[in-house]
Amino acid sequence: METKLTRAGCIATTLVVVFFLGVLALWSCTVKVPADKVGVRTLLTSTGVEEKDFPAGFVLSIPGLHSVKLWDPTWTNLRERLQLRGSDQYTTQVDVSIVFRIQPGKCHVVAKSYRDNDHVEKLALNALNKFANEVLAQMKTEDFYNSAVRNQKAEECRQAMDKQLAPDGLEVNAVLLRNIDYDDRFEQQLLQKQLAGQRKSLEISKGQLAGAQTETLLIARRAEADVKNIEESKAQEIANLKADTERKIVQIIQDAKLKEADIVAKAESSRRQKLAQAELLKATAMAKGTEALSRVYAQPGAPYYFARKALEGLKLGDIEVNSNTFNPIDSNALLRALGVELKAQPIVPLPPAPGAVSKTPEPAAIAPAVVAPERTSP
């Protein structure tokens, strides 16, 4: 039993020792690379820097065989206060900032040329001073407050720095100019110039104001003239419409009168035609009546009947006849004694009606006519 316990204790002790040795080996033979760094491993032999960047994690580094150096791959902003003498011989102080970094995957290239990050920043500042004095010194003092010219020269400086540092694995993103202090003499000139420019701008503004007021007045007058023209045009248009309406009314009245006259003329013509037809019918009726009377007169005994009617219609005074000379019952003798003679007259045939077929006229009948006696005094 004791033998078994001794053997288990030995195994456990061995495992603890192995684990401890493994932790010690891991601790001493590896290098931890943080998340914001990149590791570059160098062989301490003739091989030198390995052509590889090690990302965040653990890198094998055997003591005496390897060395691992950490590099910052993020953007770095360096600021330098420079005094630049421009082409107009005025000194201008300006803060120049350079934003740069190690190109992605090029930390092992940087490790071949630079000792560490401080060395990289120092050389970047040296390049900044060099090209700032070469490029930015080409500017006049007044160009520093001209943003277009200032940005153009800053970009030229960036390109020159990037061209020099790119073979060493560095990348220049921007060169920024700010916090500019001008020479005191130039400040006075600039102030006077600005005052003169402001006065000029004021005069120009006054001129523009006067021009704008004049233009406003002209616009108002043109508007008044346009309104007046519109009103006159409207009045003229209303007058034209009124005259045209009156003309149309007169034309309509004239047309109505002409139409009325035409209708009246047609009505009068129709009336006359109707009257003529009526007269014709009347004459035809009278002729037919006369013909009928003539035929009646031609009947036997008709003369005596009409003679009697004629005598009844006469209003005579007392008539004395001598019955010794004739028979008073003889009507013919009596009529002759009274001075009335019966004469036969021919019957005039009636004209044929319009559209009627003409017939052979009958012999004219002789109708007796009563001749009224001359009135004699009693």
User: What was the pLDDT predicted at 366?
Assistant: 40
Range of the domain at 162: 76-182
User: What was the pLDDT predicted at 338?
Assistant: 63
User: What was the pLDDT predicted at 306?
Assistant: 65
Residue that finishes a domain, picked among 127, 156, 182: 182
Higher-scoring residue by pLDDT: 50, 187: 50
User: What was the pLDDT predicted at 56?
Assistant: 83
Whether residue 168 sits in one domain with residue 89: yes
Whether residue 86 sits in one domain with residue 41: no
Asked if the structure places residue 288 within a domain, the reply is no
Q: Is the pLDDT of residue 219 over 90?
A: yes
Contacts of 75 (CB under 8 A, 6+ apart): 99, 100, 101, 173
Residue that finishes a domain, picked among 18, 45, 71: 71
Whether residue 52 sits in one domain with residue 6: yes
Asked if the structure places residue 284 within a domain, the reply is no
The span from the CA of 113 to the CA of 298, in Å, is 173
Whether residue 148 sits in one domain with residue 168: yes
The span from the CA of 101 to the CA of 120, in Å, is 10
Q: Tokens 């694995």 sit at which residue?
A: 169
- What percent of the chain lies above the pLDDT cut of 90? 5
Exposure of 332 by Cβ count < 10 A (0-12 exposed, 13-18 middle, 19+ buried)?
middle
The span from the CA of 375 to the CA of 180, in Å, is 162
**Integer CA distances (angstroms), 141 to 85, 176, 245, 299, 317, in order:** 8, 17, 82, 159, 164
Average pLDDT over residues 338-359: 50
Asked if the structure places residue 118 within a domain, the reply is yes
Q: Domain count of the chain? A: 2
Say what the pTM is.
0.43
User: What was the pLDDT predicted at 17?
Assistant: 62
Residue that finishes a domain, picked among 12, 47, 71: 71
Whether residue 89 sits in one domain with residue 65: no
Whether residue 82 sits in one domain with residue 66: no
The span from the CA of 17 to the CA of 19, in Å, is 5
Asked if the structure places residue 321 within a domain, the reply is no
- What percent of the chain lies above the pLDDT cut of 70? 72
Q: What is the CATH number of the domain that holds 171?
A: 3.30.479.30
CA triple 48-55-51, angle to 5 deg: 25
User: What was the pLDDT predicted at 330?
Assistant: 64
The span from the CA of 136 to the CA of 157, in Å, is 7
Whether residue 163 sits in one domain with residue 99: yes
Whether residue 178 sits in one domain with residue 80: yes
Whether residue 178 sits in one domain with residue 81: yes
At 158-216, the pLDDT tens digits run 999 999 888 888 999 999 888 888 777 776 777 777 788 888 888 899 888 998 999 89
Asked if the structure places residue 238 within a domain, the reply is no
Q: What is the mean pLDDT of the chain?
A: 77
User: What was the pLDDT predicted at 223?
Assistant: 92
